[in-house]
Amino acid sequence: MKIDKNFVITTLQKLVRINSINPMLSSGTPGEKEICCYIADVLKTLNLNPEIQEISKNRFNVTAVIKGTGSGKSLLLNAHTDTVGVENMNDPFSGKISDGKLFGRGAYDMKGSIAAMLAAAKAMVDNKTQLKGDLVIAFVADEEYDSIGTNHLLKTLKTDGAIITEPSNLDICIAHRGFGLYEIITKGKVAHGGRPDLGIDANMQMGKILHELNKISQELKKKEPHALLGRPSLHIPVIGGGTEPFTYSGKCKIILERRTIPGNKDEECLAEINNIIEKLSEEDQQFDAQVKQIMWRDPFETSKESELINKLSNSSKSVLNKEPVYIGHAWWEDSALTAKKGIDTVIIGPRGEGLHTANEWVEIESVNELAEILYQTAINFCK
């Protein structure tokens, strides 16, 4: 193995000890500045030339390019530096090591991957590996919220291949679900609870919508499942309406979350909701509702036959001594963005547990293995 295992542990521990909670998820949290400066320092010690970009106020990406000699394929390795919050965690930034595992917020999602990418870059430098195509390593902001980091990166970058190093237990992830998020508001008429002749109950009106949405949710459960991703789904994570007892509710608001599989379209999911509102409006003159799409993220799927997956599969086989396993992820990742840009994309990351939960850890040996897999894949792809 060409990977410096001491470098991996020291770097990973330091990364986990830096708080990089996404400020859009928990207000007053620091974001990516400190972790980007640390990564830039590591890149400098490797004699690579890091570029830090402030992509919006106090939000940062850091990237470096290992230049190829020309004529080869270019490859992007991409990891996000932000993490979710630390509610219910005892010692979120400990970086404690026990039984081959390193603990802390972000260890698995995805500072293990950052350490692996840096270790792969170090192996390139240590071994004076000369690639033909460029190898771009990017550490991006905000994947846990709005992906401003990868979106910014792709404004000016287009590589032939991209490996998104999100945790995958070293399986090769070739598909993930997408999602749509919608706000629906029903309007009623505020009146004294004793005056049904004057009041219109926005909460009851929302009930009609919920009844129809529940029908769709049940229908989705009967759909033919995607081989790797299962079925699309729909649920209501947030609901709120009215102000107090003894008063008709003037407004009710829900957030609707729709999880999608490849083939589900933006406009179709929105039309589904608009159709419900239209139908209920025809039945009741007083029915007043509106829907607004808050977010849309495409699902992702790629062919197992792509050149990048072919090279990655070979590297994985040689490092892990077993046939690769191809999987799908239930959640969305930045891979949808690189794929949409026409970049041959795949996902692979380390083993661990505790994604977004109180007990998060990454298996250190799997970070070493990931680094070696990335190193070998870059050599074979950037030929």
Q: Which residues bind Zn ion (CB under 5 A)?
A: 109-110, 166
Q: How many CB atoms lie within 10 A of CB 128?
A: 6
Q: How many CB atoms lie within 10 A of CB 120?
A: 27
Q: Which residue in this structure is represented by tokens 């859009």?
A: 24
Q: Of 215, 185, 173, which Cα lies nearest the Cα of 347?
A: 173
**Residue nearer to Zn ion on the CB measure, 139 or 182:** 139
Q: Which residue in this structure is represented by tokens 């990742």?
A: 333
Distance (Å, whole) CA 139 – CA 113: 10
Which residue's CB comes closest to Zn ion?
Answer: 109
**Residue nearer to Zn ion on the CB measure, 251 or 329:** 329
127 three-class SS: coil
**How is the chain split among helix, strand and coil, in percent rounded to 5?**
35, 25, 40
Q: How far is the CB of 217 from Zn ion (least distance, A)?
A: 27
Distance (Å, whole) CA 138 – CA 66: 11
Q: How far is the CB of 58 from Zn ion (least distance, A)?
A: 21
DSSP state of 67: -
**Residue nearer to Zn ion on the CB measure, 45 or 359:** 359
Q: How far is the CB of 352 from Zn ion (least distance, A)?
A: 12
**Residue nearer to Zn ion on the CB measure, 76 or 110:** 110
Q: Which whole-number Å values give the CA distances from 333 to 175, 176, 177, 225, 336, in the listed order?
A: 10, 7, 9, 20, 6
Answer whether the bond into residue 117 is a cis peptide, omega within 30°: no
The answer to whether residues 83 and 106 touch, using CB atoms and an 8 Å cutoff, is yes
Q: Which whole-number Å values give the CA distances from 167 to 24, 269, 287, 330, in the listed order?
A: 22, 29, 46, 12
Q: How far is the CB of 26 from Zn ion (least distance, A)?
A: 16
Q: How far is the CB of 283 from Zn ion (least distance, A)?
A: 44
**Residue nearer to Zn ion on the CB measure, 106 or 180:** 106
**Residue nearer to Zn ion on the CB measure, 110 or 229:** 110
Q: How far is the CB of 68 from Zn ion (least distance, A)?
A: 28
Distance (Å, whole) CA 315 – CA 296: 34
Q: Which residues on neighbouring strands pair with residue 119, listed in sequence order?
A: none
Q: How far is the CB of 84 from Zn ion (least distance, A)?
A: 9
**Residue nearer to Zn ion on the CB measure, 140 or 269:** 140
